């Protein structure tokens, strides 16, 4: 059964892998910077380390190759020395005397003397036919000094004046040389055979001059490799023998052998033997001393890399902080602005893009504050819808002439009432009244221009043009009257005397705009039509008219016959009240009662 979810594609497939998406800019910058630096440093370290390893191997290789020459040279020098010694021995008068005496025992003792004189551990003497005459070592008889005979035979065959080779003497590895005994020169009477052992001491002398470990090894029996001479502990034989067994017999080869907790660059060559299978010469140089200086460099590099990483971390954090901190400040400031605080200014004290952003935000705050002021202004005067519309259009705040319907409402008998009531109660009552009236006006889309004590001035068709402003104004007037009835019922219930009002409505072309000082502006309208509305309101006090609402013919004309519904839900046509002269105005105005 396969898990059905196993094949499902990952839910999120954003561009960046999950591990590389960071919430914080600083982390992102840090990871980027450190990542790049780490990659560069790691590459450098690896390259240097690799180059060092190569150099060390090359060094070790050169060393072992030099050591191979040193070994050859050391053997050749010793052979040369032995050859010269043999030459001197051959010129010895006593030797000739003893040879004439034909006394092998005496001859053997003479050869023993020679071993001391020329520091050759083994000296044998053969006649010119390769027959053993005497030996400095009793144990060396005809049988086991065979390698000398072989050397002599091939020397005679090839007419050589000396001949040398590797062989076993009494089972120990030796280098042998045969040199003629002349009597006189160049008449060959017989042959000297001399030999020196290739042993640990020889290896140590090579190591002393070359710093290279030397091992002679016989793998004639592959199962039981035989250590002939070595400067290394005997335990090293197994890995060396394994490498030797795999090595090329025909030419020297270089291998790296792991042994004794180190890696050894090993030069393996094979040495022919007299009457025996070839033996291996292994010259080895451990890599660790070659790498020692490189290690120092690598450690130094590692240390500087770590320091650079640490410095880069601090730097990246610093840069990130330098960016993220002001960004956070800006974000915080944005929240401050969002909360409505336009007075606070942000000061980043920098000239870069972030500084420009801060400046822009400050400019924005200033703009918002100004706009807010205007909005505040409007909010007090107009309904929120009108305010919003104004904010959208942004017009109508300058001075302009337009047709506006002005509604004036006044509380009757407020002066006497104010004398009867204590101030708090009076104000509470007034505000209660104004509140009801305002509601009625705004319900019809009117804009409260101002409260003048207990009087209300409201506008229809300004600051936002309304096609049906006059109708709305008359409807508002009726609504106010109706609202007052409701208020009066409440007042009666409270045991208070009822209130009465008078409303004047006039439509005229007036000047609309912000009026006031630099510090205090008010949107309002001015003009004769405003006075007319106020005068019409005053006319309601005239009991003869028997109405609370008086409007002008201009308003009715503007209604174009569309009368708003009355209290009973039916449109009652206005009752003409005739022509009146208004104070401060030439000519007559035709007025109507709205019921």
Long-range contacts of the stretch 583-587 (C-beta < 8 A, 24+): 583/535, 584/531, 584/535, 585/528, 585/531, 585/532, 585/535
For 129-156, the DSSP string reads: TS-EEEESSTT--TTTTHHHHHHHHHHH
Q: What is the rounded CA–CA span in Å between residue 389 and residue 560?
A: 26
Cα-based torsion angle of the residue sequence 578, 579, 580, 585 in order, rounded to the nearest 10 degrees: 150
User: CA 181 → CA 84, 149, 155, 187, 346, distances in Å?
Assistant: 12, 14, 13, 8, 112
Q: What is the rounded CA–CA span in Å between residue 591 and residue 586?
A: 15
Q: Least distance in Å: CB of 185 to another protein?
A: 5
Q: Is 474 left (phi over 0), alpha (psi -120 to 50) or beta?
A: alpha
The single residue among 62, 73, 77, 97 that binds another protein, judged by CB under 8 A, is 97
The single residue among 10, 15, 16, 93 that binds another protein, judged by CB under 8 A, is 93
Token pair listed for 138: 């009793």
Stretch in the footprint of another protein (CB under 8 A) among 94-102, 131-139, 325-333, 367-375: 94-102
Q: Check binding of 100 to another protein (CB under 8 A).
A: yes
The single residue among 96, 321, 432, 482 that binds another protein, judged by CB under 8 A, is 96
Q: Which of residues 163-222 bind another protein (CB under 8 A)?
A: 182-187, 189
The single residue among 91, 242, 412, 575 that binds another protein, judged by CB under 8 A, is 91
Site string for another protein, 228-247 (x = CB under 8 A): --------------------
Q: Toward another protein, which CB reaches closer, 23 or 100? A: 100
Q: Toward another protein, which CB reaches closer, 184 or 561? A: 184
Q: Least distance in Å: CB of 163 to another protein?
A: 15
Q: What residues form DSSP beta bridges with 501? A: 411
Q: Toward another protein, which CB reaches closer, 91 or 402? A: 91
Q: Toward another protein, which CB reaches closer, 192 or 545? A: 192
Total residues binding another protein (CB under 8 A): 15
State the CB neighbour count (10 A cutoff) for residue 578. 10
Q: Toward another protein, which CB reaches closer, 182 or 563? A: 182
CB of 509 within 8 A of CB of 401? yes
Q: Toward another protein, which CB reaches closer, 100 or 420? A: 100
Place of tokens 């309904």: 383
Q: Check binding of 99 to another protein (CB under 8 A).
A: yes
Q: Toward another protein, which CB reaches closer, 25 or 189? A: 189
Which 8-state DSSP code applies to residue 36? Answer: H
Which 8-state DSSP code applies to residue 364? Answer: H
Q: Least distance in Å: CB of 133 to another protein?
A: 12
Q: Toward another protein, which CB reaches closer, 94 or 314? A: 94
Site string for another protein, 489-508 (x = CB under 8 A): --------------------
Token pair listed for 477: 């007037």
Q: Which of residues 151-170 bind another protein (CB under 8 A)?
A: 159, 161
Stretch in the footprint of another protein (CB under 8 A) among 92-100, 130-138, 268-276, 286-294: 92-100
Q: Toward another protein, which CB reaches closer, 91 or 432? A: 91
Q: What is the rounded CA–CA span in Å between residue 229 and residue 218?
A: 10
Strands 500-516 and 122-127: unpaired
Q: Check binding of 363 to another protein (CB under 8 A).
A: no
Q: In the complex, which residues of this chain contact another protein (CB under 8 A)? A: 91, 93, 96-97, 99-100, 159, 161, 182-187, 189
């Amino acid at each position: 059964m396969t898990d059905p979810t196993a094949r499902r594609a990952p839910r999120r497939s954003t561009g960046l892998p999950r591990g590389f998406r960071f919430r914080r800019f600083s982390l992102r910058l840090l990871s980027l910077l450190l990542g790049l630096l780490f990659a560069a440093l790691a590459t450098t370290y690896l390259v240097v380390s690799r180059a060092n390893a190569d150099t060390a191997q090359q060094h070790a290789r050169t060393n072992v190759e030099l050591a191979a020459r040193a070994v050859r040279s050391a053997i050749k020098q010793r052979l040369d020395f032995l050859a010269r010694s043999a030459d001197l021995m051959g010129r010895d008068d006593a030797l000739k005397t003893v040879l004439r005496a034909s006394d092998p025992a005496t001859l053997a003792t003479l050869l023993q003397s020679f071993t001391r004189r020329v520091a050759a551990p083994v000296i044998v003497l053969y006649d010119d036919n390769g027959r053993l005459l005497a030996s400095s070592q009793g144990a060396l008889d005809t049988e086991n000094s065979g390698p000398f005979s072989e050397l002599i035979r091939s020397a005679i065959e090839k007419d050589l004046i000396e001949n040398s080779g590797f062989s076993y003497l009494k089972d120990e590895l030796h280098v042998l040389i045969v040199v003629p005994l002349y009597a006189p020169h160049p008449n060959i009477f017989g042959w000297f055979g001399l030999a020196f052992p290739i042993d640990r001491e020889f290896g140590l002398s090579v190591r002393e001059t070359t710093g290279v470990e030397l091992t002679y090894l016989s793998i004639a029996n592959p199962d039981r490799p035989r250590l002939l001479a070595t400067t290394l502990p005997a335990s090293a034989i197994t890995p060396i023998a394994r490498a030797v067994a795999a090595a090329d017999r025909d030419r020297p080869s270089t291998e790296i052998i792991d042994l004794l907790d180190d890696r050894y660059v090993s030069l393996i060559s094979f040495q022919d033997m007299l009457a025996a299978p070839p033996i291996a010469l292994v010259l080895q140089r451990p890599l660790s001393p070659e790498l020692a200086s490189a290690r120092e460099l690598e450690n130094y590099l590692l240390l500087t890399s770590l320091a650079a990483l640490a410095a880069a971390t601090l730097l990246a954090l610093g840069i990130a902080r330098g960016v993220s901190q002001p960004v956070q400040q800006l974000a915080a400031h944005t929240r401050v602005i969002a909360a409505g605080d336009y007075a606070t200014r942000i000061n980043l004290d920098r000239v870069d893009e972030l500084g420009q952003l801060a400046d822009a935000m400050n400019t924005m705050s200033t703009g918002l504050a100004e706009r807010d002021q205007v909005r505040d202004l409007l909010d007090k005067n107009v309904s929120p819808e009108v305010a919003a519309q104004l904010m959208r259009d942004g017009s109508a705040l300058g001075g302009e002439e337009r047709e506006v319907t002005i509604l004036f409402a006044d509380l009757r008998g407020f002066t006497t009432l104010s004398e009867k009531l204590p101030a708090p109660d009076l104000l509470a009552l007034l505000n209660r009244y104004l509140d009801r009236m305002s509601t009625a006006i705004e319900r019809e889309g009117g804009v409260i221009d101002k409260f003048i004590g207990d009087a209300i001035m409201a506008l229809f068709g300004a600051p936002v043009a309304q096609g049906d402003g006059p109708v709305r104004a008359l409807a508002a007037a009726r609504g106010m009257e109706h609202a007052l009835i409701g208020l009066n019922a409440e007042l009666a219930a409270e045991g208070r005397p009822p209130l009465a009002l008078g409303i004047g409505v006039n439509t005229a072309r007036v000047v609309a705009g912000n009026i006031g000082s630099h510090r205090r502006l008010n949107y309002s309208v001015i003009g004769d039509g405003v006075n007319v509305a106020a005068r019409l309101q005053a006319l309601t006090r005239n009991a003869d008219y028997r109405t609370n609402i008086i409007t002008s013919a201009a308003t009715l004309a503007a209604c174009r016959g569309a009368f708003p519904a009355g209290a009973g839900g039916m449109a009652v046509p206005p009752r003409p009240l005739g022509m009146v002269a208004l104070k401060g105005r030439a000519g007559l105005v035709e007025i109507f009662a709205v019921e």
